[in-house]
């Protein structure tokens, strides 16, 4: 195997020479809606805990609210299987249309959910069903949307276009944190609890129909149409486990560290700033805004760097940097618990998130062939997010309660970061042709050719 494997985008014939911004926008808007719904729930977790999970102990209520946040992630692997397989059999576009329609339904249920005081136990049940539906739809969103962007990318630009996943997650954080900060500044706590939180979720509901319309106006990817003209996998799930199983496991490990870091800093940090650092809620939301803005602006930069220097060269710097800086960042926050320090820490965290997620999005699309790309990406990403991301706020809250240490979340992030470092090494060996123990999926009988990034 050559030390540098050229992107299959170089070999695609008939690919449109124009920059595929319409397609990138269509793929990205669902990802933005998904992450907006995630972070807005976490940002209003303290309010939701009182309204839907009331107990005598506020900490118990908060844990229940985050448990509801976490349990929805259980549905993500199921959504990845169903919608990922659908994307590989019926097409990326059809899967994207279905996933965003389901997200809209789940979001609408949350916007209009009655509180515990109004309907009793039915209230948290409605919220749970809504979150489970969102989790299921989100399970297929990342795989289909990233595959869509990767397959539409112009030659040598897969990293750049796929990195808009990181950029749109940052944009969603900017929108959610900005709105949360504005509402907390303009409204009294009583007004936020009465109707302000519904307004925040309602903004996400308004994004859905726009995304559905945009996606209805795009075409299927040329790469999938080409594969469909020859042969499609009859059972993508069976194939990805039988032929691509090792890459599935490595993909899960690859995503682990960044997703834990991402959810701790962009999702959990506003709650941490209020409950542990005792900073105003407006300050906490502003810090998340800065983290999202940093990720949004730098995601495409790191994606472009991975196109030029290779996915693994960028990750070889980004992943270890995330591991070694996590503890010092939490130590700084707890030593100097001020707004400028929190904002500076979150700005750095946003850049670090983008430095990992930018290259990872393209890399996941390149280690799976076209025939199993939808389900391969969806499963590896969502299993990892379920295990290491969705549980992060709950784990962080529980670790602090059990240990009494406000630095406890940093140890969780460090452990998951080490998992990612261990996963990226054999992937790098495979690309460089060092390890014959890692056969290329594309070399297997019946596989559609897939390229790996330069080392």
Q: Which residues contact 372 (CB under 8 A, 6 or more apart)?
A: 88, 233, 236, 239, 240, 243, 244, 441
Is the Cα torsion angle 320, 321, 324, 329 positive or negative in sign? negative
Alpha helical stretches, state H, 217-280: 222-230, 236-242, 245-262, 269-275
- Indicate the SS3 state at residue 276: coil
Residue 397 confidence (pLDDT):
87
Whether residue 9 lies inside any domain: the answer is: no
CA gap 327, 406 in Å, rounded: 11
Q: How many other C-beta atoms lie within 10 A of the C-beta of residue 122? A: 12
Residue 271 confidence (pLDDT): 84
In a domain, 227, yes or no: no
Residue 273 lies in a domain: yes
How far, in Å, CA of 265 to CA of 410, rounded?
A: 10
**Residue 203: inside a domain:** yes
Tell me if 131 is assigned to some domain: yes
State CA 382 to chain mean position distance: 8
Residue 8 located in a structural domain: no
Cα distance between residue 344 and residue 99, in whole Å: 36
pTM of the model: 0.83
What sign does the dihedral 162-168-169-171 (CA atoms) show? positive
- Half-sphere exposure of residue 408, counting CA atoms within 13 Å on the CB side? 17
| Residues contacting 391, CB < 8 A, separation 6+ | 70, 73
* Structural domain of 98: 18-220+234-443
Number of domains in the chain: 1
Residues of the chain with pLDDT under 70: 1-18, 430-455
Distances (CA, A) of 69 to 111, 205, 282: 15, 18, 22
Q: Evaluate whether residue 381 is within a structural domain.
A: yes
CA 404 to chain centre: 30
Please give the pLDDT value at position 285.
86
CATH number at residue 145: 1.20.1250.20
**404: exposed, middle or buried (C-beta count within 10 Å: 0-12, 13-18, 19+)?**
exposed
Round to whole Å and give the CA distance between 172 and 296.
9
Closest CA to 455 of 3, 9, 2: 3
Closest CA to 96 of 208, 215, 219, 206: 215
State both tokens at 239: 């194939």
In a domain, 450, yes or no: no
Q: Would you state the structure tokens that stand for residue 448, as one six-digit string? A: 């559609």
Q: Distance between CA 111 and CA 113 in Å, rounded?
A: 6
């Amino acid at each position: 195997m050559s030390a540098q494997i050229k992107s299959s985008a170089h070999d695609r014939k008939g690919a449109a020479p124009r920059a595929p911004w319409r397609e990138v926008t269509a793929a990205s808007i669902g990802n933005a809606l998904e992450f907006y719904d995630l972070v807005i729930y976490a940002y209003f977790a303290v309010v939701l805990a009182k309204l839907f999970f009331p107990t005598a102990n506020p900490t118990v209520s908060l844990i229940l609210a985050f448990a509801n946040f976490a349990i929805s992630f259980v549905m993500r692997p199921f959504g990845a299987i169903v919608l990922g397989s659908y994307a590989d059999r019926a097409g990326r576009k059809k899967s994207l249309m279905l996933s965003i329609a389901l997200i809209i339904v789940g979001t609408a249920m949350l916007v209009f959910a009655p509180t515990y005081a109004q309907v009793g136990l039915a209230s948290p049940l409605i919220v749970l069903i809504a979150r489970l539906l969102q989790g299921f739809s989100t399970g297929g969103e990342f795989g289909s949307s990233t595959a869509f962007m990767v397959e539409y990318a112009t030659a040598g630009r897969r990293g750049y276009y796929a990195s808009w996943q990181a950029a749109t997650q940052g944009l969603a954080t900017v929108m959610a944190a900005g709105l949360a900060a504005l509402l907390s500044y303009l409204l009294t706590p009583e007004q936020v609890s009465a109707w302000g939180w519904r307004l925040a979720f309602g903004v996400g509901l308004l994004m859905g129909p726009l995304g559905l319309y945009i996606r209805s106006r795009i075409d299927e990817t040329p790469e999938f149409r080409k594969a469909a003209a020859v042969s499609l996998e009859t059972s993508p799930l069976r194939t990805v486990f039988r032929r691509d199983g090792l890459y599935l496991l490595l993909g899960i490990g690859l995503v682990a560290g960044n997703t834990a870091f991402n959810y701790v800093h962009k999702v959990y940090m506003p709650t941490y700033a209020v409950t542990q650092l005792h900073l105003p809620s407006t300050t906490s939301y502003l810090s998340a805004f800065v983290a999202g803005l940093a990720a949004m602006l730098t995601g495409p930069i790191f994606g472009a760097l991975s196109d030029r220097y290779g996915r693994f060269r960028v990750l070889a710097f980004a992943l270890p940097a995330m591991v070694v800086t996590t503890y010092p960042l939490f130590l700084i926050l707890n030593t100097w618990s001020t707004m400028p320090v929190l904002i500076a820490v979150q700005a750095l965290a946003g850049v670090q998130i983008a430095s990992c997620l930018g290259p990872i999005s393209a890399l996941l699309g390149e280690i799976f062939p076209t025939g199993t790309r939808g389900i391969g990406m969806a499963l590896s990403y969502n299993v990892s997010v379920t295990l290491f991301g969705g549980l992060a706020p709950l784990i962080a809250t529980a670790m602090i309660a059990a240990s009494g240490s406000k630095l406890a979340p940093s140890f969780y992030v460090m452990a998951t970061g080490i998992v990612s470092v261990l996963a990226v090494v054999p992937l790098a060996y495979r690309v460089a042709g060092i390890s014959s123990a890692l056969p290329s999926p594309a070399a297997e009988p019946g596989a559609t050719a897939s390229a790996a990034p330069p080392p």
